[in-house]
Amino acid sequence: MEYSHKPVLLREVVSLLVVNNEGVYVDGTSGTGGHGEAIASVLKGAGRLISLDRDPEAVSIARKRLSRFGSRATVMKANYALLESVLVEMGLMGVDGVLLDLGMSSLQIEGSGRGFSFLRKEPLDMRMDPDEKTTAEALVNGLSQKDLERILRVYGEEKRAGQIARAIVEARKKAPVESSMQLADIVCSVMPLSRRRKGVHPATKTFQAFRIAVNNELGLLEKFLSKAPDLINPGGRLAVISYHSLEDRMIKHAMAAWENPCSCPRSLPSCVCGKRPVFFRVHKRGIVPTIEEIKDNKRARSAVLRVTERRIHD
């Protein structure tokens, strides 16, 4: 079967994450299972892959794709922020590696019909997990102008947040904004021609902002990062691919803090707080795709991969 989603930094993820091919690995954002398939392919013996996704459509595709690995691969609908309870239910204390490939999949953008794309007329939903309550339509039509502006500015890093928020409020006075295309048209109406002509669609940041808000993406990432150190076995690794600076900043700061948790004042000659490094970054800088990969897969253009390893002795 052809899968529309091309896994980003695939070779790098497998070689940097799987340090023990008889270990237990978690793909916390399985999508259609591209990375998962490559990880499962290098496992042997007791090696095992646990794949999670909050989107039931992704889960059913990944389950079929990974079925050839039999009991080596388990795919389930779950939120990676709740990984601790997933592992407890499976009787696992920790795992040898976790991958998060954040954001959304090509399947969600192109084929879900849930309003992730500004190029199609779809209901303004944007929920990755249809069991969640808040939709983009509810936010776009229900939030105050001030809150709309804040979401656009903070989650979209959109310079024209104020103008877009005002245009949304004006538009919804006439009729509720119900489709993705309607929202894209509102954004385009306040964009100068220069931004309309650039390669990136003018509604990209607005759609990113509402998607992040609807799915509480930053809140869940923060929750995961606060638990992750305890879920990874000594010698195990965490690899995270992010696609925008908000997420990348959170990951970078968390990994740096695990590497250097000392809270002593700089004026002290040596550490007295007793907090010892728990992890070390495998590469100090984030790993980015090659030009060839970006040419072949536009989604890869903003990707940054960061990998950290838990020290054997904390």
| 293 near ligand SAM, rule: CB under 6 A | no
* Residue closer to ligand SAM, measured from CB, 262 or 287: 287
| 80 near ligand SAM, rule: CB under 6 A | yes
Residue 289 CA to residue 137 CA, distance in Å, equals 34
Contact pattern for ligand SAM over residues 182 through 221, marking x by CB under 6 A? --------------------------------------x-
Residue 89 CA to residue 78 CA, distance in Å, equals 12
| 31 near ligand SAM, rule: CB under 6 A | yes
Residue 291 CA to residue 294 CA, distance in Å, equals 5
Which of 78-86, 199-207, 229-237, 266-274 is the region at the interface with ligand SAM (rule: CB under 6 A)?
A: 78-86
For residue 31, the minimal CB distance to ligand SAM (Å) is: 3
End-to-end Cα spacing for the chain: 45
Residue 219 CA to residue 263 CA, distance in Å, equals 25
| 114 near ligand SAM, rule: CB under 6 A | no
Residue 219 CA to residue 258 CA, distance in Å, equals 19
Max Cα distance, the chain (Å)? 66
Q: What are phi and psi of 189, to 5 degrees?
A: -65, -20
Q: Which residue has the tokens 């102008």?
A: 145
| 156 near ligand SAM, rule: CB under 6 A | no
Residue 205 CA to residue 187 CA, distance in Å, equals 10
Residue 178 CA to residue 275 CA, distance in Å, equals 51
Query: Could you give the 3-state DSSP secondary structure of residue 309?
Result: strand
| 52 near ligand SAM, rule: CB under 6 A | yes
Which of 50-58, 184-192, 197-205, 252-260 is the region at the interface with ligand SAM (rule: CB under 6 A)?
A: 50-58
Taking CB under 6 A as the criterion, the residue among 73, 104, 177, 213 binding ligand SAM is: 104
Residue 102 CA to residue 84 CA, distance in Å, equals 18
| 160 near ligand SAM, rule: CB under 6 A | no
Contact pattern for ligand SAM over residues 119 through 148, marking x by CB under 6 A? ---------x--------------------
| 59 near ligand SAM, rule: CB under 6 A | no
DSSP H helices, 67-127, are 83-89, 106
Residue pair 261/276 in contact (Cβ under 8 Å)? The answer is yes
Taking CB under 6 A as the criterion, the residue among 12, 16, 18, 33 binding ligand SAM is: 33
| 54 near ligand SAM, rule: CB under 6 A | yes
* Residue closer to ligand SAM, measured from CB, 107 or 177: 107
Neighbours of 188 (CB within 10 A): 16
* Token pair listed for 227: 């638990």
| 18 near ligand SAM, rule: CB under 6 A | no
Q: Which residue has the tokens 């900043």?
A: 249
Taking CB under 6 A as the criterion, the residue among 32, 51, 135, 208 binding ligand SAM is: 32
Q: How many residues bind ligand SAM (CB under 6 A)?
A: 23
Contacts to ligand SAM by CB under 6 A: 5, 7, 28-29, 31-35, 52-55, 58, 79-81, 101, 103-105, 128, 220
